[in-house]
Amino acid sequence: MSKYILLVQPKYHTRFPPLGLLKISSYMKNKGYKTKLVYGEAPIKRKPKEIWVTSLYTYAWKPVHRAIKYYQSKFQNVPIKLGGIYASLLPNHAKNSGAEIIEGIIPEVEKYKPDYSLVPNWDGSILFTSRGCINKCPFCAVPKLEGKFRSEIDSIYDYIELFHKRIIFWDNNILASPNIFKIIDELYKLGKKVDFNQGLDSRLITNELGENLSKLKIPLYRFGYDSSSYKKRLENAISILKENGVRGRNVLLYVLFNYKDTPEKFLEKVRDAFKWGVVCYPMRYQPTDCLKKNTFISKNWTKEELDYLARARRVMGYGGAFPPYNRLVEKIEKANNFNEAFEVWPINWRESIKNTILNKNKISNQIRPRNPKFGNSLSDDFISKIGIKN
């Protein structure tokens, strides 16, 4: 009998390695199997015992089905298991692939440290110290995927690789963890870059937490600006961070749009972000079960307004974000309404900004998130060149 397990990450766009598959690899190796990780439809000669496929966004289901069909035709009678976010959110749709569906987290696998030997060029340890969330935001898939908040581990040492340069947390609400101060203390001692990738809950930022967080190497603090009602809590969290020496350019707000707020309310949120001197990343709402990206249009928005904003992000923004650089801040401040604010610049303005970015800056970091709440910071070089306020 074949003693190896084939692990497949379908060909959808992601900057991250497939964490679930890396944990399954450790789990299978512990049971005596060998494992192999491939991307998409790879030429495989030896028949595996089982094939495990992962999935991500629901709208990225096609590459998942394509990979499953490919391996089904290559290896008849080899069981194929499909897990991950798409499979958990839309199990009935995922069943059409012909794979066995694994919904949610596999408890016996969860405790394993990811098998990073499968991704030797990857430089970060990814971990969840908790699952679930204390909140139940109606637009978010986390309550459905992970349920109630629970702390999973109280120390990170056993889950990181010391040769990695950074530590990436995928906790959905890490500040709610009863172990947060212990975790911060361990991070401080490790001295590596820290990425709270899923964002921080602005409601939970206290003076004590702000002081402790600011001692860590955090290139970017991310918060959600989902509703206008978050204004006070965000203002408070940002001011606490600033009092502790964090610069505005190291704070990014994911500003939700195309949900309940109107375009004018969205403009107010962007103005708030600029007033606080932080980077604004517009986050388009998509239903958690959408099968085609960017097709949902909220009743408060029109297709034209969504197209307008998308164009403004491409032309006036950077990497999809609006950094608070002086000219943009001025434009947004002076605008009388949403259309005026996001009307793209005349060609000479655009060219001057584009040239600043293209000629003088080599940004390797990206600021896009991993999932609807899911990046890195803007480089100092870029920031200084385009004049972002602190």
Which residue ranges make up the site for ligand SF4 (CB under 6 A)? Answer: 133, 135-137, 140, 142-143, 172-173, 201, 224, 373
The closest alpha carbon to 63, from 84, 35, 34, belongs to 84
| Interior angle at CA 57, CA 55 and CA 59, nearest 5 | 110
Contact 283, 257 (CB under 8 A): yes
Dihedral class, residue 368 (left if φ above 0, else alpha if ψ from -120 to 50, else beta): beta
d(CA 362, CA 366): 11
- For tokens 């109606």, what's the residue? 138
Q: How far is the CB of 187 from ligand SF4 (least distance, A)?
A: 21
Nearer to ligand SF4, 298 or 361 (CB): 298
Q: What is the DSSP string of 67-136?
A: HHHHHHHHSTT--EEE-SHHHHH-HHHHHTTSSEE--S--HHHHTSPP-GGG-TT--EEEE-SEESBS--
What is d(CA 231, CA 272) in angstroms, rounded to the nearest whole number?
A: 8
Buried b / exposed e across 249-262, counting CB within 10 Å, b at 16+?
Answer: bbbbbbbbbbbbbb
Q: Least Å distance between CB 203 and ligand SF4?
A: 9
Q: Which is nearer to ligand SF4, 201 or 305 (CB)?
A: 201
In whole angstroms, how close is the CB of 373 to ligand SF4 at the nearest point? 6
CB of 142 to ligand SF4, least distance (A): 4
Compare residues 63 and 143 and give the one whose CB is closer to ligand SF4. Answer: 143
Shortest Cβ 111–ligand SF4 spacing (Å): 22
- Comparing CB distances to ligand SF4, the nearer of 171 and 305 is 171
Tell me the closest approach of the beta carbon of residue 205 to ligand SF4, in angstroms: 13
How far is residue 27's CA from residue 10's CA, in Å, rounded to a whole number? 21
- Find the shortest distance in angstroms from Cβ 137 to ligand SF4: 3
Residues 80 and 72: beta-carbon distance below 8 Å: yes
Q: 283: closest CA among 230, 224, 200?
A: 224
80 or 89: CB nearest ligand SF4: 89
CA dist., res. 25 & res. 125, Å (int): 16
Backbone angles phi, psi at 78, to 5 degrees: -95, 125
Based on CB atoms, which residue is closest to ligand SF4, 146 or 272?
146
Our CB check for ligand SF4 shows the closer of 196 and 382 to be 196
Q: How far is the CB of 228 from ligand SF4 (least distance, A)?
A: 16
- Shortest Cβ 232–ligand SF4 spacing (Å): 16
Phi, psi of 195 (to 5 degrees): -125, 105
User: Nearest approach, Cβ of 224 to ligand SF4 (angstroms)?
Assistant: 6
Amino acid code (one letter) for 10:
P
57 or 75: CB nearest ligand SF4: 57
Check if the beta carbon of residue 278 is closer than 8 Å to that of residue 324: yes
Nearer of residues 27 and 149 to ligand SF4, judged by Cβ? 149
Whether the Cβ atoms of residue 204 and residue 228 lie closer than 8 Å to each other: no
Q: How many helices (H) does the chain have, and how many strands (E)?
A: 15, 13
Smaller CB separation from ligand SF4, 283 or 341 = 283
